[in-house]
């Protein structure tokens, strides 16, 4: 009996499940234009309508009735976990679907209701793009108008109908913090913020209310005293701005500084008052230099009546015995609208002779426009007569002294000129020698920059993004330029980078890794700069990026070299001129030895880097009291001689520049592995015009200049030469 009951119970449950499944299937009309699908507990497709076969089955790879698409697997899994309806947006094969999943717990299936919304998404994207373009255009217009207002030569403020600030330009309020604060506030808030009286705010509110009532502009002037006690006059104007319906939308106010114009008006008024009451003669002419007015003092002194001179040119008055140069100076000053004073000899209408100090200055009207000129004459007759008396008394004494000293002066001048001509002749040869190096550096630098720029525009820029160019410029700008090191140092650094790239970027072929390693070393980028290396390796084209970086870095180095070389050449010329004028050659001061030598190395950088291994180990802190331009000549001649003496060397060329310090002195040694200097030449090598290079290549002044510079700086130089190397060691006293 119990067995039958269990069997009936089981059949009833099966019947109930079957009824529910039937009920659920009725929810899947095959006529639905959107895809509808059902998946069982094993994620197998058990039902799909005809609409799903258009694209959905293919897009989600359901031809075999098995779910293999990761997106669809995730949707089915989430539907069972959430146990509720869940919506998704998925893109497949260029189509966009809106998918709603529903888990039916009673029969353990997942229903999928999908809609192809590709057209809707496309329209939304088009609308969004249009909105973005419109937004960008509006932003450009906003930036344009703000630029105009921010750079307008007047302070401008815009208010809403409640007298609240909606805009103020930087000329109105210079402090950005205060400018940001005032937006949305009024003048009373500004007074509280600045802790100043509200008088001006009350006045502005009255003006604002009047404008809102009458809908017209109001003009007034503000008179202020600045923090330095100077007067400031601002011409202000405020008025309404109307919308398309004729209603007041905003109120604009602007102010223009008219302080200069007001001061000019007041000055002209004061001058007019003074001119009428002064004892000095005053004459006024218009822009055509025709007389328009004269005061009583001038008329009385000259013997003219006002009606006799009105409308006459300013040259009407006779200036007897006056210097033509003085009159020309007056005319030139008037042509340039400048003030000028000259002394003139004058004869009145009654034949009375006298001297005047005559001044001329331009006159302006209330608008700041020039209206003419004003002449003011001061009677200096008494002073001139006294000077003439003193000159006559001194004349005999001066003649006597002049006669007795003439022979001595002539003899002294002759001897001095002869000595100076000899010295100038020597200096001229030295100047020609010293100018050759910086001028050659300038020429070489300019040619290299031209070549590099052609490479940048033809090759590098096209392979690099703007961000990469900006990165390179920033890195070069904020890092001190490092001297390029060639030879073994270059090889060692390049080899280390090759190992690093082989370990971390094995996807690059060996040739590209070799190029990259060489460029990293050439650009003085250390393996410790991991962030920069990562950025470079992630660039659009790392090789082109590093070549661009190198070209920009070398360009900056050449520009610095050109600038420094120009300064050095200028100083050499200045030395010669100073000597001729019997002034000190150069200004003495503390000179940093490391920096001074480094400037010279930059000049010879191309020669050094191409064939010479350089070791530059000079203390950055040692200084000497001396002449910068002269020390430049010292180092340049030593380096130039080292390069030239190694030209024919078949071995690896080396140049070492090393400093050594003690408590009282420091030394700088220039060592090269060129040929040995014979003992007999060592004794003459510092003599002027002695050269081993021949007339075509050497002037014989290089090491002579070295010796002179060393002596000028109270230093010592010794030459040590053997078969292995040649050393020039200069020892300086420490600067106190």
Kindly state which CATH superfamily the domain 152-257 is placed in: PAS domain (3.30.450.20)
**Smallest Cα–Cα separation from 179: which of 171, 631, 697?**
171
**Smallest Cα–Cα separation from 536: which of 522, 552, 520?**
520
Phi and psi at residue 343, in whole multiples of 5°?
-100, 130
Burial class (CB in 10 A: 0-12, 13-18, 19+), 532: middle
| pLDDT value, residue 384 | 80
CB 174 within 8 A of CB 162: no
| pLDDT value, residue 660 | 94
| pLDDT value, residue 505 | 86
Classified as helix, coil or strand, 475 is helix
Q: Which two structure tokens, joined as six digits, stand for 640?
A: 């130039």
The predicted-structure confidence for 96-111, as pLDDT tens digits, reads as follows: 999 999 988 888 899 9
Same fold, 24-116 and 152-257: yes
Pick the CATH number of 263-379 from 1.10.240.10, 3.30.450.20, 1.10.3720.10, 3.40.50.880: 3.30.450.20
Q: Tell me which of 247-251, 283-287, 578-582, 583-587 is least confident.
A: 578-582
Average pLDDT of the chain?
79
The more confident residue out of 191 and 576 is 191
Count of beta carbons in the 10 Å neighbourhood of residue 250: 14
Q: Tell me which of 157-171, 205-219, 311-325, 498-512 is least confident.
A: 311-325
Q: Is the pLDDT of residue 418 over 50?
A: no
User: What is the band of 427 on the pLDDT scale with cuts at 50, 70, 90?
Assistant: very low
| pLDDT value, residue 572 | 63
Is domain 24-116 annotated with CATH 3.30.450.20?
A: yes
Which residues fall within 8 angstroms of residue 242, CB to CB, at 6 or more apart? 248, 249
Give CA–CA dist 602/353, Å, rounded: 71
User: What is the band of 695 on the pLDDT scale with cuts at 50, 70, 90?
Assistant: very low
Burial class (CB in 10 A: 0-12, 13-18, 19+), 134: exposed
The predicted-structure confidence for 134-162, as pLDDT tens digits, reads as follows: 888 888 877 776 777 677 778 889 999 99
Strand partners, 111: 38, 102
Give CA–CA dist 13/585, Å, rounded: 117
CB 487 within 8 A of CB 651: no
**Smallest Cα–Cα separation from 523: which of 474, 558, 482?**
482
The more confident residue out of 385 and 4 is 385
CB 706 within 8 A of CB 669: no
Burial class (CB in 10 A: 0-12, 13-18, 19+), 542: buried
User: What is the band of 16 on the pLDDT scale with cuts at 50, 70, 90?
Assistant: low
User: What is the band of 586 on the pLDDT scale with cuts at 50, 70, 90?
Assistant: low
Q: Tell me which of 108-122, 140-154, 233-247 is least confident.
A: 140-154
DSSP string, 693-725: S-TTT--S-HHHHHHHHHHHTT-EEEEEE-SS-
Q: Is the pLDDT of residue 416 over 60?
A: no
| pLDDT value, residue 419 | 37
CB 251 within 8 A of CB 272: no
Calculate mean pLDDT across residues 370-374: 87
Give CA–CA dist 451/446, Å, rounded: 9
The predicted-structure confidence for 276-329, as pLDDT tens digits, reads as follows: 667 787 888 888 888 888 888 878 877 888 888 888 886 655 444 455 677 788
276's enclosing H/E stretch is helix 259-277
Helices (H), 155-258: 176-182, 187-194, 199-214
Calculate mean pLDDT across residues 53-58: 88
Kindly state the percentage of the chain with pLDDT values over 90.
Answer: 15
User: What is the band of 334 on the pLDDT scale with cuts at 50, 70, 90?
Assistant: confident
Positive or negative torsion for Cα 129, 130, 135, 139: positive
Give CA–CA dist 618/602, Å, rounded: 15
The more confident residue out of 427 and 505 is 505
Give CA–CA dist 414/457, Å, rounded: 62
Strand partners, 412: none
Phi and psi at residue 354, in whole multiples of 5°?
-160, 165
Q: Tell me which of 409-418, 494-503, 638-647 is least confident.
A: 409-418
| pLDDT value, residue 467 | 85
| pLDDT value, residue 492 | 81
User: What is the band of 502 on the pLDDT scale with cuts at 50, 70, 90?
Assistant: confident
This prediction has a pTM of 0.31
Q: Tell me which of 132-146, 487-501, 680-694 is least confident.
A: 680-694
**Smallest Cα–Cα separation from 733: which of 717, 714, 706, 708?**
714
Q: Is the pLDDT of residue 5 over 70?
A: no
Classified as helix, coil or strand, 418 is helix
Q: Is the pLDDT of residue 617 over 90?
A: yes
The more confident residue out of 95 and 25 is 95
- The fold for domain 588-733 equals Heat Shock Protein 90 (3.30.565)
CB 360 within 8 A of CB 340: yes
Q: Is the pLDDT of residue 681 over 50?
A: yes
- Cα Rg of the chain (Å, integer): 46
Domain ranges for the chain, please list them: 24-116, 152-257, 263-379, 400-484+524-585, 588-733
User: What is the band of 583 on the pLDDT scale with cuts at 50, 70, 90?
Assistant: very low
| pLDDT value, residue 344 | 78
The more confident residue out of 623 and 475 is 623
Map tokens 């100043």 to a residue: 196
| pLDDT value, residue 412 | 38
Q: Tell me which of 63-67, 241-245, 318-322, 530-534 is least confident.
A: 318-322
The more confident residue out of 383 and 658 is 658
Map tokens 């600030």 to a residue: 165
User: What is the band of 420 on the pLDDT scale with cuts at 50, 70, 90?
Assistant: very low
**Smallest Cα–Cα separation from 670: which of 590, 599, 731?**
731
CB 300 within 8 A of CB 279: no
**Smallest Cα–Cα separation from 556: which of 469, 454, 463, 482?**
482
The predicted-structure confidence for 512-528, as pLDDT tens digits, reads as follows: 888 888 888 887 888 88
Map tokens 């017209």 to a residue: 216
C-alpha distances out from residue 570 to 356, 435, 447, 559, 712, Å: 46, 9, 21, 17, 20
| pLDDT value, residue 205 | 93
Q: Is the pLDDT of residue 456 over 90?
A: no
181-216 burial: b if 16+ Cβ within 10 Å, else e? ebeeebbeebbeeeeeeeeebeebeebbeebeeeee
CB 318 within 8 A of CB 345: no
Q: Is the pLDDT of residue 182 over 50?
A: yes
């Amino acid at each position: 009996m119990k067995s039958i009951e269990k069997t009936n119970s089981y059949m009833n449950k099966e019947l109930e499940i079957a009824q529910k499944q039937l009920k659920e299937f009725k929810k899947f009309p095959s006529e639905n234009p959107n895809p509808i699908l059902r998946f069982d507990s094993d994620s197998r497709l058990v039902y799909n309508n005809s609409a799903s076969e258009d694209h959905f089955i293919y897009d989600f790879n359901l031809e075999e009735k098995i779910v293999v698409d990761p997106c669809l697997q995730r949707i089915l899994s989430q539907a069972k976990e959430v146990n509720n309806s869940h919506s998704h947006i998925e893109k497949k094969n260029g189509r966009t679907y809106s998918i709603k999943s529903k888990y039916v717990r009673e029969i353990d299936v997942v229903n999928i209701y999908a809609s192809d919304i590709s057209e809707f998404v496309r329209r939304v994207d088009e609308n969004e793009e249009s909105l973005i373009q419109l937004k960008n255009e509006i932003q450009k217009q906003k930036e344009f108008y703000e630029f105009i207002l921010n750079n307008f030569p007047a302070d401008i403020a815009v208010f809403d109908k409640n007298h609240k600030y909606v805009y103020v330009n930087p000329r109105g309020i210079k402090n950005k913090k205060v400018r940001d604060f005032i937006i949305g506030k009024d003048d009373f808030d500004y007074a509280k913020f600045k802790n100043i009286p509200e008088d001006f705010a009350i006045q502005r509110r009255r003006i604002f209310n009047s404008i809102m009532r009458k809908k017209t502009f109001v003009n007034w002037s503000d008179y202020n005293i600045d923090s330095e006690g100077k007067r400031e006059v601002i011409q202000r104007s405020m008025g309404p701005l109307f919308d398309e319906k004729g209603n007041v939308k905003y109120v604009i106010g602007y102010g223009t500084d008219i302080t200069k114009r007001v001061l000019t008006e007041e000055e002209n008024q004061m001058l007019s008052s003074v001119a009428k009451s002064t004892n000095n003669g005053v004459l006024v002419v218009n822009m055509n230099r025709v007389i328009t007015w004269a005061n009583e003092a001038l008329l009385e002194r000259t013997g003219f009546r006002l009606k006799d001179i009105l409308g006459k040119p300013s040259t009407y008055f006779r200036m007897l015995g006056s210097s033509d140069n003085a009159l020309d100076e007056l005319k030139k000053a008037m042509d340039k609208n400048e003030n000028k004073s000259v002394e003139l000899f004058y004869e009145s209408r009654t034949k009375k002779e006298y001297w005047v100090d005559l001044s001329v200055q331009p006159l302006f009207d209330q608008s700041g426009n020039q209206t003419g000129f004003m002449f003011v004459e001061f009677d200096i007759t008494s002073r001139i007569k006294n000077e003439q008396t003193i000159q006559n008394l001194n004349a005999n004494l001066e003649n006597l002294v002049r006669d007795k000293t003439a022979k001595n002066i002539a003899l002294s001048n002759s001897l001095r000129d002869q000595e100076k001509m000899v010295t100038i002749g020597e200096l001229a040869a030295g100047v020609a020698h010293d100018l050759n190096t910086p001028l050659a550096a300038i020429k070489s630098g300019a040619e290299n920059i031209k070549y590099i720029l052609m490479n940048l525009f033809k090759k590098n820029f096209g392979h690099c993004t703007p961000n990469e160019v900006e990165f390179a410029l920033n890195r070069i700008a904020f890092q001190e330029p490092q001297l390029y090191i060639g030879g073994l140092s270059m090889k060692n650094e390049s080899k280390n980078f090759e190992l690093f790239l082989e370990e971390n970027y094995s996807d690059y072929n060996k040739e590209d890794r070799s190029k990259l390693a060489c460029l990293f070393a050439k650009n003085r980028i250390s393996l410790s700069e991991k962030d920069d290396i990562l950025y470079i390796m992630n660039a659009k084209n790392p090789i082109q990026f590093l070549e661009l970086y190198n070209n920009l870095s070398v360009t900056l180095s050449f520009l610095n070299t050109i600038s420094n070389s120009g300064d050095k050449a200028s100083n050499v010329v200045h030395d010669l001129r100073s000597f001729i004028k019997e002034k000190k050659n150069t200004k003495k001061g503390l000179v940093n030895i490391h920096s001074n030598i480094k400037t010279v190395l930059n000049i010879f950088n191309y020669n050094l880097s191409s064939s010479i291994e350089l070791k530059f180990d000079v203390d950055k802190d040692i200084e000497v009291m001396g002449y910068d331009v002269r020390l430049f000549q010292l180092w340049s001649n030593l380096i130039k001689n080292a390069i030239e003496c190694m030209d024919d060397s078949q071995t690896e060329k080396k140049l070492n520049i090393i400093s050594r310090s003690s408590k009282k002195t420091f030394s700088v040694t220039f060592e090269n592995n060129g040929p040995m200097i014979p003992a007999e030449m060592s004794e003459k090598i510092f003599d002027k015009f002695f050269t081993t290079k021949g007339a075509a290549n050497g002037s014989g002044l290089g090491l002579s200049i070295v010796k002179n510079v060393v002596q000028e700086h109270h230093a010592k130089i010794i030459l040590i030469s053997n078969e292995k190397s040649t050393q020039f060691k200069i020892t300086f006293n420490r600067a106190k």
